[in-house]
Amino acid sequence: MNWTILNGVNKLHDEMKEWMGHLHQCPELALMETKTANFIAEKLKSWGYDVVEGIGKTGIVASMTVGKGNKTIGLRADFDALPIQEVNDLPYKSKIEGVSHLCGHDGHSTMLLGAAKYLAETKNFNGTVRLIFQPGEETMEGSPAMIADGLFERFPVDAVYGMHNMPGLPFGKFHFCENEMMAAVDNWEIELTGKGSHGSMPELSIDPVVCGSSLVMALQTIVSRNVSPWQNSVVSVGAFIAGNAGNIVPQTALLRLSIRNMEPKLREMVLNKIRSITKSQAEAFGCKYEIREGIPGAVLLNTPENTQWAASVARNTFGDDQVVYPAHPYMGSEDFAFMLQKKNGTYCMLGNGDNFMVHHPQYVFNQDILPIGAAYWAALTEEYLK
């Protein structure tokens, strides 16, 4: 156990809860996080960091060099919110209607801020630490935007590290996984256009609701009948939007899909199946169709050596019983995958305890893990920059 770091970061717990409470009450959606970015940047400047704002639109990189060491470590946290109405009765509940931090990005940024203040006060390292505060993770746009804006050319790092809270995992336990850690995501929309009519005269219509219902069921056969049980793939229809009255056959129906795969060839097969099934279903019911393919994600691949090292640092800091390694991968997605395409590093999960899953209206980030996450960041920095 590294009691120096643990005790030092624990002293910041009350401050961290205040910072997170502020961020949670004022959530902002992807690439519109101007107030969030300003709050974070002002904190970092006050602690002596060299802060550059506006990277990839609203991203931030804060750097601090101590001593003459030539090593550089990158630590990344995200700070965008979700377009979901929070239903929790928290003293710091979101003040923005229909927008909330129901994935814990406010907590992620707070943990990195806690590490930032601790490192600035103690300066117990020799080299450069770069803190990457990233926008737009939920839309898969933020990481590519920062990279396109010269993130790693302007702010070189030897390796980059990320972390996410995970409900359902034991409180405060770290989970590490080598190689494939999270899936590539494709968020698609399928719009079906038929012919509207009065509900009492369906024979005069071409019903996109019936077509869409059949399509939803047909899409379920892709994984169950085309993907080996030894492979990982998910096709979910998360939204089916059509009409607003029971006595009207609507003109259009909209399906929103979340598609996740762990392998590039499997991904192409699944996407082609969605295209062909949509075409055949639409033709069978006489509907026209349009598929709108969203921004593609990428499989998150953890570098084995960096994963082993990070897990060993976590063990030394928190104890062997607080680290699970190797852990199982997740079918969730993360645009940190794009950073790991450019740099070695690893992404781990931190247990948020027994809680509603992220993106649920009643999800709550457990504020008691704030100093745990901050201590992990601080330990990685001090160990790498000895």
Give the separation between CA 61 and CA 59, rounded to whole angstroms. 7
112-131 average pLDDT score: 98
Give the separation between CA 209 and CA 110, rounded to whole angstroms. 45
Return the residue matching tokens 């001593």: 67
Say if residue 351's pLDDT is above 90.
Answer: yes
Nearest of 307, 300, 356 to residue 332 by alpha carbon: 300
Q: Which of 28, 78, 80, 335 is catalytic?
A: 80
Give the separation between CA 270 and CA 281, rounded to whole angstroms. 16
- The pLDDT tens digits for 282-297 are 999 999 999 999 988 8
Give the separation between CA 196 and CA 194, rounded to whole angstroms. 7
Contact 362, 189 (CB under 8 A): no
Beta 72-78 vs 127-134: how paired, if at all?
parallel
Say if residue 27's pLDDT is above 90.
Answer: yes
Give the separation between CA 263 and CA 182, rounded to whole angstroms. 11
By CB atoms closer than 10 A (0-12, 13-18, 19+), residue 28 is buried
Q: What's the CA angle centered on 334, arms 72 and 90, to 5 degrees?
A: 100
pLDDT at 142: 97
pLDDT at 279: 98
Q: Which of 33, 78, 137, 186 is catalytic?
A: 137
Active-site residue, 80 included: yes
Q: How confident is the model at residue 95 (pLDDT cuts 50, 70, 90)?
A: very high
172-197 average pLDDT score: 97
Give the separation between CA 237 and CA 255, rounded to whole angstroms. 7
- The pLDDT tens digits for 226-277 are 999 999 999 999 999 999 999 999 999 999 999 999 999 999 999 999 999 9
pLDDT at 228: 96
pLDDT at 4: 96
Contact 165, 108 (CB under 8 A): yes
Structure tokens given for 23: 């961020």
Q: Give the containing element (helix H, strand E) for 311.
A: helix 304-318
Instruction: List b or e across 352-369, with b for residues whose CB sees 16 or more CB atoms inside 10 angstroms.
Output: bbebeebeeeebbbbbeb
Give the separation between CA 45 and CA 288, rounded to whole angstroms. 55
Active-site residue, 368 included: no
Strand, helix or coil for residue 257: strand
Residue 154 CB neighbour total at 10 angstroms: 11
Residue 264 CB neighbour total at 10 angstroms: 11
pLDDT at 145: 98
Contact 263, 230 (CB under 8 A): no
Contact 151, 178 (CB under 8 A): no
Q: Is the pTM of this model over 0.85?
A: yes
pLDDT at 102: 98
56-84 average pLDDT score: 98
201-217 average pLDDT score: 98
pLDDT at 295: 87
Say if residue 202's pLDDT is above 90.
Answer: yes
pLDDT at 119: 98
Q: Where are the beta strands (DSSP E) in the chain?
A: 50-55, 59-66, 72-78, 127-134, 159-166, 174-175, 179-182, 184-193, 197-198, 233-241, 248-249, 252-261, 288-293, 300-302, 323-324, 345-351
Share the mean pLDDT of the chain: 97
Nearest of 280, 300, 299 to residue 289 by alpha carbon: 280
pLDDT at 98: 98
292-320 average pLDDT score: 96
